[in-house]
Chain A
Amino acid sequence: MNINEPFIKVIHLKYAYPDGTLALSEINLEIYDGEFIALIGQNGSGKTTLSKCLNGLLKPTSGDVIVEGFNSKNTPIVQMVNRVGYVFQNPDHQLFNSNCWDEIAYGPRNILLPEEEVKIRVEEAAAVVGLSPDYFESHPFFLSKGLRQRVAIASILALRPKVIIVDEPTTGQDSRQSYEIMDFLTRLNREHGHTIIIITHDMPIVARYARRVIAMADGKILADGETAEIFKQTSILEQASLEPPQITRFAQRLGHHGFDPGTLTVEQAVDQFRQIRERFVTRS
């Protein structure tokens, strides 16, 4: 496959639920290998529906979703989920086996891989998420939420999908746990070559980790671009009732002093102040 070809192509996608409710309309999107994307928007804006279209769980009402050349309309779902994995928001909605090994092995067994291959996949996925073999026999229910989430991610990784969509990875986590999960997704992205898409309401997390942001409202894409560029478009974000992180708003309020309205982290803001300060100190 040509390296410049998008891995996922969404063309004029429209999706209506069976009761006629229009969830997505006129979605056009290209997703490339190695991207780290945040999908943001209010509940009901279509983020989860779009994700489910990307991995073939939902078929377009009209338009196309093409993943690595396969059109989701006429591709068996197994072929789709092998390419795009979706990790549920609440790992408990996904985990249902009575021990971690069976949980992670479920996907590979489902696509009828031989048991030796299943074993390789489970051990590989567990190693990537840092799940110690000590937990293989444990019931997922008795693990901490952070560990359950790792099991949920491992069970998706075992299918070796190129793209991994994680729905609200930091909900219910404290700050340290949130950074741990995000650092882990960053390793999957940088070291293991996975394309990562997170769905989240946590703007400081978006600012720190995502390189591209897709903002949705009312089933449409409102803005799509580099993270800093999207956070600069405050009036567009306002339409979706979204707000950039606090440090970005701080820098925007002080833009007339030379702070960058696309500031994403505290470190960047401190660095900008250092430069502004130097200008004053060396002026005379």
Chain B
Amino acid sequence: MEPIIEIVNYTWKYPDTEKPALDGIDLTIMPGEFVGVIGPNGAGKTTLALSMNGLIPGQYHGIKLGEVKVLGKEVEEYAKGELQRHVGMVFSDPEAQFTAMTVEDELVFGLENLGLTRSEIKERLEWVVELTNLERLLNKPPYEISGGQKQRVALAAVLAMMPEVMVLDEPTSMLDPLSRKRIFEVLSQLRRTKKHTIIMIEHSLENLIPLTDRMILLSDGKIVSNENTRIFFQDAAVQEKGVYPSEVIQYFHSLKKQGWYEDEIPITLEESVERQEKLLAALNSASHQRGV
């Protein structure tokens, strides 16, 4: 299988900054992968996202070195607007994204651009509207809806286009727990179909971990770690690299450090409860054996 994204020795420097925002990045992503991108603010996560859909270098000034290939082709070689059909992007700041006068127009606009028939458009619109719970907002102009609602519209607009690649830059940062949960459920469904390649920047590792095949840790413009998610969190040192793993992972690392636990670090709540049950059962039978 050919990689869907191939980044080779890529460096990007914005004007008026001393250090490059991304510095010698090598990254290969295969079709159908769900990749998490994490790291402190200022590490270069958003720059990486913008590079993958061609907004960098298209819409930004700066100096580029190396290669960023999507579907085997360098991003600059795509005709204007063509790359965006393959790579959909949701920004962390949804204000930046709105172009139409109503939510419905915003959703339909992209679909018309794809050259879909009216019935196809209607079908997809109904699908995303239900998925993202936007029924009541369809006729509202962008200035009448909240930041969280805009974020849901932005995600719906990208989902409706069903692009091969979706780049999501903190798509739930402005949502409340209920809407956030719904979005993560949608992403989990998409992941199971394996039809899309999804790259997601997200601070909430508790939500991100169960979705991702792979974790990429950026720091100071460099990829510090690029590892299968399960393997990534076995390393107790991730915390020193500025990552705060979800609470159950921290818990099991603490147990390990005390010498109370020796097995693999579980990465989800379900796994953790299971592991803890086993650990207690083992302690119990050991104490009985000693008692005999």
Interface on A for B, CB 8 Å cutoff?
Answer: 41-43, 90, 144-145, 171-177, 201, 203-204, 241-243, 245-247, 249-250, 253-254, 257, 266-267, 269-270, 273-274, 276-277, 280-281, 283-284
Cross-interface CB contact of A269 among B39, B148, B179, B251, cutoff 8 Å:
B251
Sampled A-B contacts (23; CB under 8 Å) = A43-B176, A43-B179, A144-B41, A171-B173, A172-B173, A173-B203, A174-B41, A175-B243, A176-B244, A177-B40, A201-B177, A242-B177, A246-B269, A250-B276, A257-B280, A266-B251, A270-B254, A270-B255, A270-B258, A273-B255, A277-B283, A280-B283, A284-B287
- Name the residue of chain B whose CB is nearest to the CB of A175: B244
Cross-interface CB contact of B247 among A41, A173, A266, cutoff 8 Å:
A266
Cross-interface CB contact of B287 among A241, A253, A267, A281, cutoff 8 Å:
A281
Instruction: Check A254–B277 contact: CB distance below 8 A.
Output: yes
Instruction: Check A250–B284 contact: CB distance below 8 A.
Output: no
Interface on B for A, CB 8 Å cutoff?
Answer: 39-42, 92, 146-148, 170, 173-181, 203, 206, 242-244, 246-248, 250-251, 254-255, 258, 260, 269, 272-273, 276-277, 280, 283-284, 286-287, 290-291
Instruction: Check A281–B283 contact: CB distance below 8 A.
Output: yes
- Name the residue of chain B whose CB is nearest to the CB of A268: B251
Using known A-B contacts A175-B244, A270-B251, determine if residue A254 contacts B173 with beta carbons closer than 8 Å. Answer: no
For residue A276, which residues in chain B have a CB less than 8 angstroms away from its CB?
A: 280
Number of A-B contacts (CB under 8 A): 101
- Name the residue of chain B whose CB is nearest to the CB of A271: B254
For residue B175, which residues in chain A have a CB less than 8 angstroms away from its CB?
A: 43, 201
Q: How far is the CB of A201 from chain B (nearest CB, A)?
A: 5
Distance in angstroms between the alpha carbons of A33 and B94 in the assembled complex: 39
Instruction: Check B291–A284 contact: CB distance below 8 A.
Output: yes
Instruction: Check B246–A246 contact: CB distance below 8 A.
Output: yes
Cross-interface CB contact of A171 among B41, B174, B244, cutoff 8 Å:
B174
Q: How far is the CB of A203 from chain B (nearest CB, A)?
A: 8
Distance in angstroms between the alpha carbons of A241 and B176 in the assembled complex: 10
Cross-interface CB contact of B273 among A203, A254, A266, A281, cutoff 8 Å:
A254
For residue A274, which residues in chain B have a CB less than 8 angstroms away from its CB?
A: 258, 260
For residue A280, which residues in chain B have a CB less than 8 angstroms away from its CB?
A: 280, 283-284, 286-287
Distance in angstroms between the alpha carbons of A195 and B171 in the assembled complex: 33
